[in-house]
Structures are given as structure tokens and as C-alpha cells.
Amino acid sequence: MREEILNLLGNQQGEYVSGESISHSLNISRAAVWKQIQGLKEAGYEIEAQTKKGYCLVKAPASLDEWALKQELKTGYLGKTLRLFEELPSTNDWCKDLVRQGEESGTVVIAKRQTVGRGRMQRAWQSPTGGLWMSVLLKPKLNLADAAKLTLSTGVALARAIHTLYGLEAGIKWPNDLVYQGKKIAGILGEVVGEWNSVQTLILGIGVNADFEIQDLSPELPATTLRTILGHEINLNQLAAEILRQLEHEVQALEQGDVAGLKERWTTCAVGIGHAVEIERAGEKFAGVFHGINENGELILDYDGREQAFSSGEVRLRYNAGQYSP
């Protein structure tokens, strides 16, 4: 019912639709229409009401809302099936359950807050209300090696979405943290579900510190939020839709074999290339110069005059400038 009313109002956004025509179209009483409108207002919809004219949808909410997100969505298949929750332990874990139930590729799970959000390597991810905590379920037409590159693609999609919407130059810290002036804005957790040698399903978990203030995170974290940086409200529906649009584009590019293009786009968004860094692998430290990534997505370190490749699962990267370390 809620969606039907929104569709009626949304079809003529900015214009008035009479209560009588809504009640007639949906076969409900005028009082029921009024009640639904009150509910929508409480959910953040700006709706004007005039006695003679009826109701006019002025603005959809900036907070997460399924109808509003779908209006913003400009993808072919990503997010067409959307599951939005008030709270989940972790959207990645919920997505894994969906995979077991045979969910289709492109489904997106979003929670307004997470109670046990996860980072990589069993690290915790703080997920207060106002963030964008989202997992994308994908069955890409890729082998395992290429599918693993989708976490790089996701980083590119995030950086590009943030640049497109806000003109903000956030950079990717290898392998796929999004940072601004050394502080983390977003992180990605890519997980494979299924057999090791033939990728069946991939879950791309995306966490963006979006529409909340930095005080909502532990003070010791070298983190920031889009709202703190930009000083205004962030429309989470618009942000989610733009990330999904960019991501769909990246997935298609990779499925068409454009690994070189991905590497180039990733490199353009990356921070720290050409700078002194320190890599830590199983307690061993390697100080050298960050030379970017190879086509496998591995970090290339110029170490003692020779190039050495490191894969993301096994190392930590620190910029010597001391700007950022997780």
C-alpha cells in the first residue's frame, strides 16, 4: 500500500494528487490515505497537503528507504532485488545465508546499522546508524583469479561514486580502503562462497562512513565520515545507487576481460604510489617504495633495488609518512 501511494505521488512529483483519486485508485478510504501519508512523513518523506488539491511529494528522504533508493537506481541488475533491514549482525553474513537459499546474482542487502560488522581478518567494523552498510551478491562470469580482482573494482567504484556525487578526491589505500587526508572513509570485505577452484558466488561487503559524525566512532580510529568532511547531510539512497551503478560498470568491464583498464583506473584512484612504505608479512618488515599493482592486484614494492609482489591476504601496509595505518 505504502509503495502504491508513493508510486501515485512519484509519477507526478511536484504536482498535487487528490486524496479522492488515491482512495479511488487503491480502493481505500480517504482516512486510510491520510494515515498512510502520515506514516510516510514520519519516515522522512516531505509531503505537502492542501485541502482542495490533495497531496504533493516534495522530497524523498535522505535516510535509507527502499522506494527512494529504487527511484535513484540506474543499474541493469544490481540492486533490483533489494533487502533493507533496520539492523543486522552483518550484511555479509546475511548474504551468505541467501546464497545457501539460491538467491540470484545482483541482490543487495543493506542494514541501517550492524551489531557485529566485520572487517578483514576477523577485525571488527563499527557500523552506527547513518552509515551505508551494504553487501552485493554476485555470480560473476569469471574464474577465481579474476573474481578476486572485484574487490579492486569495488574500490574504484567507491572512489568514483564519491567523486561524481561530491567532487571529493578520496583515494584508495591498497588494497581497498578509501581514505581522505589519511583517514579512512570506507572499507571493503570481499568473500567467496562456494568451491575454491570455481567461483560460484562472491559477496562484496561495502561499508561507508557516510551520514553520521565522527564522534559516533571510537576516537582512536584514524577515520572520518563524508558528513564530517562535507559538512552537510548525505543522501544514502543516492550514494548507494551511484556506487551500484559504478560497480555494475566495473563488473561488466572485468567480465569483458578488461584487466588492464581496471589496473589503470585503480592506479588513478590510488594514494601512495611512488612513496616510501613499509610492508609487514608474518612479523617480517619490508621497507621500500610502493610501485603500484600488477595485473593480479598484488602490491609491487621496490625493495633493495628489486621488485617484489605482495598479495593482500597476507600483509599490512603502512605509509612511512605516518598518515594512516589500520
- What residue ranges bind ligand BT5 (CB under 6 A)? 90-92, 114, 117-121, 123, 125-126, 133-135, 177, 184, 187-189, 205-207, 209, 217, 221, 223, 326
* C-beta closer to ligand BT5: residue 216 or 258: 216
What is the smallest separation between the CB atom of 184 and ligand BT5, expressed in angstroms?
4
Find the residue with minimal CB distance to ligand BT5. 187
* C-beta closer to ligand BT5: residue 54 or 79: 79
Helix (H, G, I), strand (E, B) or coil at 68: helix
What is the smallest separation between the CB atom of 241 and ligand BT5, expressed in angstroms?
16
Instruction: Tell me the residue type at 5.
Output: I
262 contacts: CB under 8 Å, gap ≥ 6: 149, 152, 153, 156, 250, 253, 254
What is the smallest separation between the CB atom of 317 and ligand BT5, expressed in angstroms?
10
Closest to 244 in 3D by CA, of 44, 67, 70: 70
Cα–Cα distance for residue pair 84/51, rounded to 1 Å: 34
Binning the chain into helix, strand and coil, the percentages to the nearest 5 are 35, 30, 35
Cα–Cα distance for residue pair 326/319, rounded to 1 Å: 11
* C-beta closer to ligand BT5: residue 109 or 199: 109
What is the smallest separation between the CB atom of 221 and ligand BT5, expressed in angstroms?
5
* C-beta closer to ligand BT5: residue 40 or 111: 111
Instruction: Tell me the residue type at 151.
Output: T
* C-beta closer to ligand BT5: residue 157 or 188: 188
Residue labelled with grid coordinates 625493495: 303
| Cell numbers found for residue 222 | 584514524
| Cell numbers found for residue 14 | 511536484
* C-beta closer to ligand BT5: residue 149 or 184: 184
What is the smallest separation between the CB atom of 306 and ligand BT5, expressed in angstroms?
28
Helix axes 150-166, 259-269, angle to 10 degrees: 50
Helices in the chain by DSSP H: which ranges? 2-11, 19-26, 30-42, 66-72, 91-100, 144-148, 150-166, 226-230, 236-255, 259-269
* C-beta closer to ligand BT5: residue 9 or 177: 177
Cα–Cα distance for residue pair 271/266, rounded to 1 Å: 10
What is the smallest separation between the CB atom of 187 and ligand BT5, expressed in angstroms?
2
What is the smallest separation between the CB atom of 243 and ligand BT5, expressed in angstroms?
12
What is the smallest separation between the CB atom of 280 and ligand BT5, expressed in angstroms?
14
Cα–Cα distance for residue pair 133/85, rounded to 1 Å: 10
* C-beta closer to ligand BT5: residue 106 or 207: 207
